[in-house]
């Protein structure tokens, strides 16, 4: 059956009636930096915004924010393992679908944006499109790859099932935005050919440039290495601890401090690992902290580190490091290399000894890390910052008299600019 394309209705230049509903499932709105940037962009354009999100205290700032209607549902029970994911997705999928239908019945919805994973909303997407609502997916990760990263022994049938959900989603929606070229190619192969665009996930430079290091961070002294992010199984944060141990025990580097910023399912296990290794004096965990606190650490840090082994992922932490002119060490993965260019020192994937040596190089060689840091900042300023991406985002989700312009002769929506080549 041929797909029915739903064009964006004309608004005659007026945007105050343009209604966008954004759905997030895997974390609350207040902790989702990409979603918050998107909301700010839509509000600045004069749109009405509704957000459906799990209930959490970090959402407090948005409950009374002008222009935003926040609909929160009780988060699913926290169960570990594959069964926990099934329960979470069933619970959230039901709650989100009911809230979406309630919103659509009460008022017109021009665009629904589904922040994914998981790829479970294609039934409601099809129904919404039949009522004239444009449905866009914001795909941050790939479910099959994420399953394998979390559970290396996952059965092939489970992986195949997730590929099926991915294909159903791509066939059910109008357009998909994603965060790098690898994901774009995968999603086009899954059925999104001609309807997938890259919108990079860079930070808002105006907020970066407004940050100053807090006095307590400055007063601590000694070289400071930072890691930032969610601490999930797939993030391999235990390798940060292993690299820290090697750096601290190499030569006279007891003064080197590591600060791991963020929370997640692995936080307590990581704290226990640090205690067992006797690294309490050198490795600190902040837990979840607001963006201004994260940026305060990055403004003071001497180097960053990333230990992801997911070859398809563009690390948001790397974008943040680069925006602060912070050189970093990471494993040599395709998307990390493509993103970082001359802003990082890369080690063979999984080689913690080499990663530790890369960090030592950065700690010891101030002129070199200064050069790398400037290169990273230049890349962000040129094309990766959110200020450089929001026009591409608005072309797909924001008010428009026509669907986003298609590239001549190629049948695909114009994509955001690629990062400058190394």
Q: Is 202 exposed, middle or buried (0-12, 13-18, 19+ CB in 10 A)?
A: buried
What percent of the chain is predicted at pLDDT more than 70?
88
Smallest CA-to-CA distance from 34 within 316, 419, 388 is with 316
Number of domains in the chain: 2
* Cβ pair 34, 125 in contact under 8 A: no
| Bridge partners, residue 115, by sequence | 138
Does 406 map to a domain? no
Q: Which two tokens stand for residue 348?
A: 């063979």
Chain-wide mean pLDDT for the chain?
87
Residue 127 in domain: yes
Phi and psi at residue 46, in whole multiples of 5°?
90, 15
CA distances from 152 to 6, 147, 215, 231, 418 (A): 40, 8, 43, 18, 32
Residues 236, 134 share a domain = no
Q: Which is nearest to 25 in space by CA: 74, 81, 82?
A: 74
pLDDT at 410 over 90: no
What does the pLDDT read at residue 404?
A: 39
CATH number at 285 reads: 3.40.50.2000
pLDDT at res. 77: 79
79, pLDDT greater than 80: no
Whether residue 233 sits in one domain with residue 180:
no
Q: Are residues 367 and 346 in the same domain?
A: yes
Provide the pLDDT for residue 252: 65
* CA 258/CA 50 separation, integer angstroms: 39
Residues 357, 220 within the same domain: yes
Residues 53 and 75 in one domain: yes
Does 197 share its domain with 263?
Answer: no
pLDDT at 196: 94
Report how far Cα 35 is from the mean position of its chain's Cα atoms: 9
Is a pLDDT exceeding 90 seen at residue 175?
yes
315 in any annotated domain: yes
State CA 50 to chain mean position distance.
20
Tens of pLDDT, residue by residue over 232-259, are 999 999 999 999 999 998 866 778 999 9
Q: Does 421 score more than 50 pLDDT?
A: no
Question: Is 229 found in the same domain as 149?
Answer: no
Looking at residue 255, its pLDDT comes to 85
Judge whether 14 lies within some domain: no
192 and 220 part of one domain: no
Does 29 reside within a domain? yes
Quote the DSSP letter at residue 380: I
Cα first-last separation, the chain: 44
- Domain co-membership, 160 together with 304: no
User: Would you state the structure tokens that stand for residue 81, as one six-digit string?
Assistant: 């393992």
Coil/strand/helix, residue 153: coil
8 A C-beta contact, residue 116 and residue 169: yes
Residue 405 lies in a domain: no
Residue 193 pLDDT grade (very low, low, confident, very high; cuts 50, 70, 90): confident
Residue 189 CA to residue 199 CA, distance in Å, equals 18
In a domain, 230, yes or no: yes
| Host domain of residue 154 | 19-202+386-397
Question: 146 and 233 share a domain?
Answer: no
Secondary structure of the chain: what % helix, strand, coil (to 5)? 45, 15, 35
104 and 219 housed in the same domain:
no
Rounded-to-integer distance, Cα 42 and Cα 388, Å: 15
Helix (H, G, I), strand (E, B) or coil at 34: helix
Q: What are phi and psi of 314, to 5 degrees?
A: -95, 110
Report pLDDT digits (tens) over 312-370.
Answer: 888 899 999 999 999 999 999 999 999 998 899 999 999 999 999 999 999 999 999 99
Which of the four pLDDT bands, split at 50, 70 and 90, describes residue 46?
very high
CA dihedral of 45, 51, 53, 55, whole degrees rounded to 10 = 100
Residues 229 and 340 in one domain: yes
Between 147 and 23, where is the model more confident?
23
Q: Where are the beta strands (DSSP E) in 99-166?
A: 111-116, 134-139
What confidence category does residue 17 fall into, taking pLDDT thresholds of 50, 70 and 90? confident
Q: Regarding predicted confidence, which is higher, 206 or 217?
A: 206
404 domain residue, yes or no: no
Q: What's the chain's Rg over C-alpha atoms?
A: 22
């Amino acid at each position: 059956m041929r797909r029915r394309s739903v064009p964006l209705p004309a608004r005659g230049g007026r945007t105050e009636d343009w209604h966008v509903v954004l759905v997030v499932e895997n974390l609350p709105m207040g902790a989702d930096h990409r979603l918050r940037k998107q909301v700010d962009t839509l509000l600045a354009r004069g749109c009405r915004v509704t957000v459906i999100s799990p209930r959490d205290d970090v959402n407090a700032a948005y409950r009374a924010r002008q222009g935003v209607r926040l609909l929160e549902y009780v988060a699913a029970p926290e169960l570990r393992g594959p069964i926990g994911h099934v329960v979470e997705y069933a619970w959230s999928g039901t709650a989100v679908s009911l809230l979406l239908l309630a919103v659509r019945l009460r008022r017109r919805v021009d665009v629904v944006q589904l922040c994914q994973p998981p790829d479970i909303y294609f039934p409601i997407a099809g129904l919404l499109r039949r009522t004239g609502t444009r449905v866009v997916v914001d795909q941050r990760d790939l479910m099959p790859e994420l399953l394998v990263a979390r559970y290396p022994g996952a059965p092939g049938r489970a992986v195949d099932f997730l590929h099926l959900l991915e294909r159903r989603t791509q066939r059910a929606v109008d357009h998909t935005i994603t965060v790098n070229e690898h994901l774009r190619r995968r999603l086009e192969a899954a059925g999104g050919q001609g309807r997938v665009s890259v919108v990079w996930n860079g930070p808002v430079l105006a907020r970066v440039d407004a940050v100053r290091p807090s006095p307590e961070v400055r007063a601590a002294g000694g070289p400071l290495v930072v890691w930032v992010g969610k601490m999930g199984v797939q993030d391999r944060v235990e390798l940060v601890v292993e690299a820290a141990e090697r750096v601290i025990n190499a030569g006279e580097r007891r003064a080197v401090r590591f600060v791991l910023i963020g929370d997640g399912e692995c936080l307590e296990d990581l704290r226990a690992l640090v205690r067992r290794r006797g690294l309490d004096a050198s490795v600190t965990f902040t837990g979840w902290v607001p963006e201004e606190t994260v940026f305060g650490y990055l403004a003071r840090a001497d180097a960053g580190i990333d230990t992801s082994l997911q070859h398809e992922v563009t690390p948001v932490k790397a974008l943040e490091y680069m925006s602060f002119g912070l050189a970093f060490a990471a494993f040599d993965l395709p998307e990390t290399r493509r993103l970082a260019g001359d802003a990082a020192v890369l080690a063979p994937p999984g080689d913690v000894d080499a990663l530790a040596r890369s960090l030592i190089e950065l700690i010891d060689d101030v002129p070199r890390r200064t050069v790398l840091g400037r290169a990273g900042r230049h890349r962000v300023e040129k094309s990766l910052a959110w200020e450089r991406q929001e026009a591409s985002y608005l072309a797909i989700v924001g008010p428009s008299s026509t669907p986003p312009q298609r590239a001549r002769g190629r049948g695909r929506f114009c994509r955001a600019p690629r990062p400058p080549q190394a």
